[in-house]
Amino acid sequence: MRQYVLINKQVVPDPDLFRWSKAYESMGNRRVAFDQIGTIEVSTVFLGLDHDFSYVRQGEGPNPNPIVFETMAFNMPGGDRPCFRYRTWEEAEAGHNAFVATLTVRQRENGVDCSGISIRGCTENTTIVLPTDTTPEIIRKIKI
């Protein structure tokens, strides 16, 4: 099994399953970020297990660059549950913030009141670049 713990936001392999399970019990130790945009909830957490299923173990030990963070959105229109995975705490924070910014812009466009939402890392002069739904290669720039 390829289990990991967080020590000062750094991913560290932990071969001791009992110690790992104790560290994994508390959500406070694993939550990177949580935001709500209208009824949509966006959660980014430390998974504790390597989700890099392309990594092949051949006796060399734990993956030196595991995928152990995940962002998911719940209560999306149409029942979609987008999921994004990352290797580091910093990537997870940045990915979470970018996804929240994207959702906020799209929700505003759909008439959802997002006035109380603060997007980490963004100011009123921040430009978000989004692919269009119908033509991904065409990019839209939207001012927050």
Per-residue pLDDT band at 124 (split at 50, 70, 90): low
* Alpha carbon distance 58, 60 (integer Å): 6
* Alpha carbon distance 67, 49 (integer Å): 8
Residue bearing tokens 């989700």 = 51
Residue ranges making up the domain that contains 43: 4-143
Mean of pLDDT values over 88-93? 92
**Cβ atoms of 13 and 2 closer than 8 Å:** yes
- Residue 27 φ then ψ, to 5°: -65, -30
pLDDT of 61 higher than 70: no
* Alpha carbon distance 65, 106 (integer Å): 33
Per-residue pLDDT band at 92 (split at 50, 70, 90): very high
Average confidence score pLDDT of the chain:
76
Mean of pLDDT values over 57-82? 80
**Count of domains for the chain:** 1
Q: pTM to 2 decimals?
A: 0.74
- DSSP 8-state code for residue 49: B
Mean of pLDDT values over 34-48? 90
pLDDT the model gives residue 56? 56
Q: Which of 17-21, 109-113, 125-129 has the lowest mean pLDDT?
A: 125-129
